[in-house]
């Protein structure tokens, strides 16, 4: 509880003391905006990186706004998200990084190249291991004169990349309305604060995109002499690598060597044991 209090206090100080935005209560709908209700949601994407024993996914925290007048432009926001994993064995962990050019904010509306003056990203527990409450947020300009990136206006924008490392198939549930952590949410250019509509998300994380057969080094769907030749060329002649290393790691020791050639020979010509399943792929 103490960690929550400190975290909430830091967020309040950033918005209230530095931005001088003081509001008694944030309405559920921006009463000054007569258009459609601004919306926040998660864009679930396929796994984008496979390591030897894990999958990395980068979901996008998105906003859609119809703000078209300068006084409606968004200059500050934050969001507390509660994240859970359906499979505890996946050891899901969210990556925390506040840098403008770091993996969480680079390429977003508030990071490089737009580069708002302040971003914050923290987690309870600090390790980021799910279940966790994770806070994302940014302030365009702490002190005048303004020298930060552009405000958020009409359109669809990426606010942050939600980067999660998992070690097995799971479903990541991301919600905001159920978190007990206070959020200030959205601040307009005219100092009006409000809370946009939140759409909760269920994002499946699966290695199905890389379910190759162990031993199928050349990726043609079967294990035969062609795979043995492929591995020999890889080990002894510096030939091309398989799409995923697990395809050629026949003994599952996390490295492709002559021992994998031996496994292939024994399996194909001597009735030996089949290649072993290994890593996140080839399961």
CATH number for position 254: 1.10.1330.10
Q: Are residues 222 and 201 in the same domain?
A: no
Report residue 203 CA to chain centroid gap: 11
Q: Are residues 12 and 123 in the same domain?
A: yes
Q: Are residues 147 and 221 in the same domain?
A: no
Contact 69, 154 (CB under 8 A): no
Can you give the pTM of this predicted structure? 0.67
Instruction: Write the DSSP string, 173-224.
Output: EEESTT--S----EEETTS-EE--EE--EEEEE-GGGG-PPTT-TT-SSS-S
Is the model's pLDDT at 236 over the cut of 80? yes
Q: In this structure, what token pair is assigned to residue 48?
A: 């984008």
Q: Which of 71-85, 100-114, 170-184 has the lowest mean pLDDT?
A: 170-184
Q: What is the residue range of 253's domain?
A: 211-269
Q: Are residues 64 and 48 in the same domain?
A: yes
DSSP 275: P
The per-residue pLDDT of the chain, averaged, comes to 80
**pLDDT (average), residues 147-157:** 87
Per DSSP, the chain holds a count of helices (H) and strands (E) of 3, 13
Q: Are residues 111 and 219 in the same domain?
A: no
pLDDT band at residue 44, thresholds of 50, 70 and 90?
A: confident
Is the model's pLDDT at 277 over the cut of 90? no
Q: How far apart are CA 43 and CA 66, in angstroms?
A: 19
Q: Are residues 169 and 216 in the same domain?
A: no
**pLDDT (average), residues 241-262:** 88
CA–CA distances in Å: residue 152 to residues 37, 61, 162, 180, 192: 15, 14, 19, 27, 14
- Cis peptide leading into 131, omega within 30 of 0? yes
Nearest to 281 by CA among 185, 192, 206: 206
Q: Are residues 160 and 227 in the same domain?
A: no
Is the model's pLDDT at 128 over the cut of 90? yes
């Amino acid at each position: 509880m103490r960690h929550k209090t400190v975290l909430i206090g830091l967020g309040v100080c950033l918005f209230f003391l530095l931005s001088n935005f003081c509001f008694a209560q944030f309405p559920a709908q921006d009463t000054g905006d007569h258009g459609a209700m601004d919306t926040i949601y998660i864009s679930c994407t396929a796994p984008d990186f496979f390591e030897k024993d894990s999958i990395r996914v980068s979901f996008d925290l998105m906003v859609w706004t119809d703000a078209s007048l300068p006084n409606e432009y968004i200059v500050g926001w934050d969001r507390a998200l509660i994240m859970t994993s359906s499979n505890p064995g996946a050891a899901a962990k969210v990556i925390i990084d506040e840098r403008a050019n770091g993996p969480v904010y680079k390429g977003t509306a508030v990071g490089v190249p737009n580069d708002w003056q302040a971003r914050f990203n923290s987690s309870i527990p600090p390790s980021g291991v799910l279940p966790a409450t994770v806070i994302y947020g940014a302030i365009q300009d702490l002190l005048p004169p303004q020298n930060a990136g552009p405000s958020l206006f009409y359109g669809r924008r990426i606010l942050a990349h939600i980067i999660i490392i998992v070690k097995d198939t799971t479903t990541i549930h991301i919600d905001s309305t159920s978190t007990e952590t206070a959020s200030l949410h959205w601040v307009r250019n005219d100092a009006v604060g409000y809370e946009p509509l939140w759409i909760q998300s269920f994002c499946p994380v699966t290695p199905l995109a890389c379910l190759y057969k162990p031993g199928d080094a050349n990726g043609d769907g079967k294990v035969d002499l062609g795979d043995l030749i492929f591995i020999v060329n890889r080990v002894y002649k510096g030939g091309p690598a398989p799409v995923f290393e697990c395809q050629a790691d026949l003994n599952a020791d996390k490295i492709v060597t002559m021992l994998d050639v031996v496994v292939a020979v024994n399996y194909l010509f001597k009735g030996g044991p089949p290649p072993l399943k290994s890593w996140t792929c080839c399961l």
